[in-house]
Amino acid sequence: MKFPVRDYDLASTLACGQAFRWQQQQASWTGVIGNRWVRLRSTQNCILAETGEPAEHWDWLTDYLQIEMDLEVVLASFPDDEPMRSAVCACRGLRLLRQEPWECLASFILSSTKQIVQIRQIIALLCERYGESLAVPAGEAAAHGFPSPARLAALNEAELRSCKMGFRAPYLLATAQAIAQNQFDLERLRGMPVAEARIELISLPGVGRKIADCVLLFAYGFQAAFPVDVWVMKALCELYFPRRRPTLPRLQHFTETYFGDNAGYAQQYLFHYMRTRRPVKSNE
DNA sequence: AACCAGGACACAA
DNA sequence: TTGTGTCATGGT
């Protein structure tokens, strides 16, 4: 299947640390969306997609990739300052995906104080061991879906720890159980105001402000959510507060007012910019 | 070989 | 409210 797009940087989008299951081989990317194996390839003006099994429709993919999203409008809404111009220039065409809430939530519970390569490894192990086997084209490596809340809730802490997730295991287990036992409904958050949905997410074990904002932004599409991790913190301090060191609430207020309605998008551009730019030496 | 990584949490002052 | 120690693992 072929989808016309413009200004879509597939590589940056799939590798920028919002999703953790995409693998690059030559010019294409393979991954799993829901319970489908997918291979994506990008040409000048379109994205080519093939699936493990014939697909009857493609809404799940266009929604995930946010093909319809008008990036021009989003970029135009960014503050017109030097840091944002540099960040956009570094990865123009980067999009925010629209991921499935449970996988996104679980993934970011596993993300705390881990490098992206390690997060990918933990999630790969978890899926390989406990995820459903998926149909893949002949000759392709086996693929697995992301294990359901019920599947993980039935495990014990030691089994989770053996996936190398360390102290995050009890958090993931408790959150999986809350969802599997219907004490928490991820779907209910869709219609809520952001602030309210955030409070709900933070009530889950292992979920604080940062992880909640990641899920709000990457799964539910609340584009005002602005996750502040160590990289974004560094970006904000270096680029916007080079002299005085801002207090945390002051910084939070800044992110909520300065970057506009698409603050979350701006945040992802800053994040990617900080992680990929040439390392800055202290004497420059 | 230290230092650090898409943090959250309990507890101190 | 703001600051500190702790948690587990492995990349750089």
The model's pLDDT over A118-161, given as tens digits with 9 standing for 90+, comes to 999 999 999 999 999 999 999 999 999 999 999 999 999 999 99
pLDDT in tens, chain A (284 residues): 999 999 999 999 999 999 999 999 999 999 999 999 999 999 999 999 999 999 999 999 999 999 999 999 999 999 999 999 999 999 999 999 999 999 999 999 999 999 999 999 999 999 999 999 999 999 999 999 999 999 999 999 999 999 999 999 999 999 999 999 999 999 999 999 999 999 999 999 999 999 999 999 999 999 999 999 999 999 999 999 998 888 888 899 999 999 999 999 999 999 999 999 865 433 33
- Strand B interface, A 15-54, C-beta < 7 A: 16-18
**Nearest nt by C1' to A122 Cα:** C9
Range list for CATH 3.30.310.40 in chain A: 2-72
- Residue A230's CB: how many other CB atoms inside 10 A? 10
Calpha distance A28→A34 (Å, rounded):
19
pTM for this prediction: 0.97
Superfamily of domain A101-218: Hypothetical protein; domain 2 (1.10.340.30)
Instruction: State pLDDT tens for residues A69-79.
Output: 999 999 999 99
Tokens 């030496």 sit at which residue? A281
Q: Which CATH number fits domain A2-72: 3.30.470.20, 2.60.40.1120, 3.30.310.40, 3.40.630.30?
A: 3.30.310.40
In whole angstroms, how far apart are CA A66 and each of A124, A128, A147, A190, A200? 24, 27, 24, 17, 25
Q: Using the structure, give the distance in angstroms from the CA atom of A177 to the C1' atom of B2, rounded to a whole number.
A: 39
Q: Which nucleotides of B are covered by protein (CB under 7 A)?
A: 4-9
Q: Using the structure, give the distance in angstroms from the CA atom of A167 to the C1' atom of C6, rounded to a whole number.
A: 10
Range list for CATH 1.10.340.30 in chain A: 101-218
**Nearest nt by C1' to A169 Cα:** C8
**Nearest nt by C1' to A114 Cα:** B5
Which DSSP letter does residue A163 get?
I
Which residue type is seen at A45? N
- Nearest residue to nucleotide C12 when comparing alpha carbons to its C1'? A115
